[in-house]
Structure formats: structure tokens, C-alpha cells
Amino acid sequence: MKKSLISGTLCALFVFISLSLEAQTIDRKVLTWEQRNVNIGAVLEERGEVEAEFFGVNLNQDTIWITDVYAECGCTAVSFSRDTLFQDKIGSLKVKFNPDHRGGAFAKQIIVRTNQDIYGDTLILEGINIPVPDNIQLAYKHRIGDLGFRLSAINMGEVFTNEPKLKHVEVYNFGNDTLKLKSEQKDLPEHLYVALEPESILPGQRGLLLLSYDGDKKADLGYFEENVSLQLQNENEIEMKLTAVVYEFFQPVPKSMEKVVPRLGLSEIDIDLRDVAANRKVSRDIVITNMGEEMLQIRKIATNCDCVEVLLGADEIGPGQKTELRFTFDTKGRKGIDHKHITIFSNDPIYPVRTVVVKSTIK
């Protein structure tokens, strides 16, 4: 009898807790934030605090006000309004980030609790902290005129066609004059945009060179090395080397569409030519198949060496159809173990870039 009574009591208690938790989940009322993630970009330590603002609107019928805010670390200070937010009213939360000597990318969490939400909403303040280097001369040892750079070339990394890629590059003015870019950069390609932050860099001061690379305007795919010339107001020029890899952007494909969309199939992706005599040409065919139900388009074929030539049978392949890709490898002037890459860009949204590796030993 006692066991039965205890079991019944525990069961009732469990049901009560479950219903209470479910009620709390259902009754949870939160602010709708304009942005949950705010990126403040690159932050130079010597400029001091940087402020960002989050805006939230109350879309609930009940009034809401912020009760508590918890910042992840002491480097972020938060101020907010306790004023009551009626329905459709907007409140703000200001966050100040204080840069320190620890550099690198950061993502600081801010937990916001209200009278209607005891669990708290999570906001993210992110950016790149750039501390002052201990040795300016060593830190910016690559000089282009009076400007000092950390590296001899600027690597934009992967750039996709759906949105421009922004890069912050540290620069230091070692000259005696203030550096400022001309408002119009006549020699700059259409896919590049460049600005200085601040617009004028005083002698003995740091700044940021902002580079925006638009993959869509580039209108090409693959790896690129470009020489970029920037004009300064003092009539001097800055010649920089820039690298980037441009990829076409595709939306994620639902599982139900994986067999419908264009799908590129290759007869071989790892080809071993084995022993090849020096100073001769070797050819091989690769079969490309469209395993999807929509038209497959070959956007581009690139190789990592001028010694490899490619010939494509057709750049549009219907569903279930095939074409051949013939490559010819010229071993002239080469000896020993050799690896070459053939990269195929297509409109296959799942694997838009495929690479064929060609191995050989040249004797």
C-alpha cells in the first residue's frame, strides 16, 4: 500500500513538474532583436573603447523590461534602459568593448534577462582585436613606400559570388607626411574596393586598409594573383600583390532534391601515370557524367601548371549523358615524382568544385 502511494505521489509530482516546465516554455516572452550578432570589425588597441548597439522590439501584448545583463568577460561593459516596453516599442542595449593586449578574433556573449524571460536571450558581439605590437619595425617589416605591412602579399582567402569579402589589413605610416588615398582610383579593377580607416594616417601612426573583393563582379572562378596599384593624394603609388580563390555560391540543397539537381560524376579522380619518359607528352581521357535530372554545366576547367592542357568535349551535359575530358601532360624539363591538379567548376550545387590528381614519376 505504501509503495503504491509513493509511486502515485511521484507520478503526480513528475506530471506537475512536466506541466510546469511546459508552461514556462510556452509562456516565455522575449524581445525580437534586430540583430543577435553584431560585428564591429577590426579594433585597434590604441583607439580605446568601441561601442555597438543592439535594438530589440516587444512584439508581445505584455509589457517587458530588462532586469539583468551578464557579459562574458570584463572587456565588455553594458548599459541598458529599464523603462517599460509596451507592445511594439523598441529598447536598446549598448555594449562597449575595451581592447587589450590579447589579439585575434573574438565573440563575446551577452545574456539579457527580462521580467518575462528568466532564462535570458543570448547576443553576440564579435570582431578582431588588433593589439599594439611590441616592436613596430619587426611587426611591419614589409615596406611599400612609406607604408609598412605585416606580410608581403594580401590573401583574401575564399571569396564567394553571393557577397563581397571584406579584409582588414594593418598598415603603419613610417613616413613624414600624412597618408591619404585619392577619392578616385582609376586603375582599380571593378571587383575591388579600397579605403583607409581613418581616412588620413598621420606619421608614426597605424591604420587599417579595408579591401572589399566582389566575387560576382570578378566574373571568373578559381585561384587568382593580382597586382593592385593604389594612388595616394601626394601622387605616390602603392603596388600590392593580392591573392584570392573565387567560388560560385549555391544555396543548400534539400535531401529530397539531391537526385534532381545537376550532379557531376568522374570516371577517375586519382590518376597514376606511373613511369613516364622525360621530354614527351602523355594524354588520358576522363569521362564526365551528369548523374542528376537537370542540365549540368561545366563553368571552368583550370590546371595548376601550363604543362597540362585540357580539351573538353561539351560544356553542357544532359541528364544521364556523358562527355570526355582529355588532358595532355608535357614532361619537358621535368624529372622525378610529379603531381598535377585539374580542377573542374560546375553548377553541381552539392560538389561545385572537383579536383583530379595526376601523379607520375618522370625518368
What are the pLDDT digits (tens) for 120-132?
899 999 998 989 9
CATH code at 70? 2.60.40.10
Q: Are 111 and 69 in contact (CB under 8 A)?
A: yes
Q: Is residue 7 part of a domain?
A: no
- Residue (of 169, 156, 155, 162) closest to 213 by Cα position: 156
- Whether residue 125 is found in the same domain as residue 140: no
- Residue (of 96, 120, 107) closest to 31 by Cα position: 120
What are the pLDDT digits (tens) for 196-249?
999 999 999 999 999 999 999 999 999 999 999 999 988 888 899 999 999 999
Task: Quote the number of domains for the chain.
Answer: 3
Does position 23 have pLDDT exceeding 80, yes or no?
Answer: no
Q: Is residue 191 part of a domain?
A: yes
Q: How far apart are CA 306 and CA 289, in angstroms?
A: 26
- Whether residue 220 is found in the same domain as residue 267: no
pLDDT of residue 80: 80
Does position 26 have pLDDT exceeding 70, yes or no?
Answer: no
Which one of 247, 269, 300 terminates a domain?
Answer: 247
pLDDT of residue 91: 87
Indicate the pLDDT class of residue 171, thresholds 50, 70 and 90.
very high
- Whether residue 276 is found in the same domain as residue 331: yes
Print the domain residue range for 100.
Answer: 32-130
Q: How far apart are CA 297 and CA 294, in angstroms?
A: 10
- Whether residue 114 is found in the same domain as residue 144: no
- Whether residue 242 is found in the same domain as residue 342: no
Which one of 130, 149, 174 terminates a domain?
Answer: 130
Q: Is the pTM of this model over 0.85?
A: no
In what order do the strands lie in the sheet containing 264-266?
Answer: 264-266, 281-290, 322-330, 308-312
- Whether residue 168 is found in the same domain as residue 209: yes
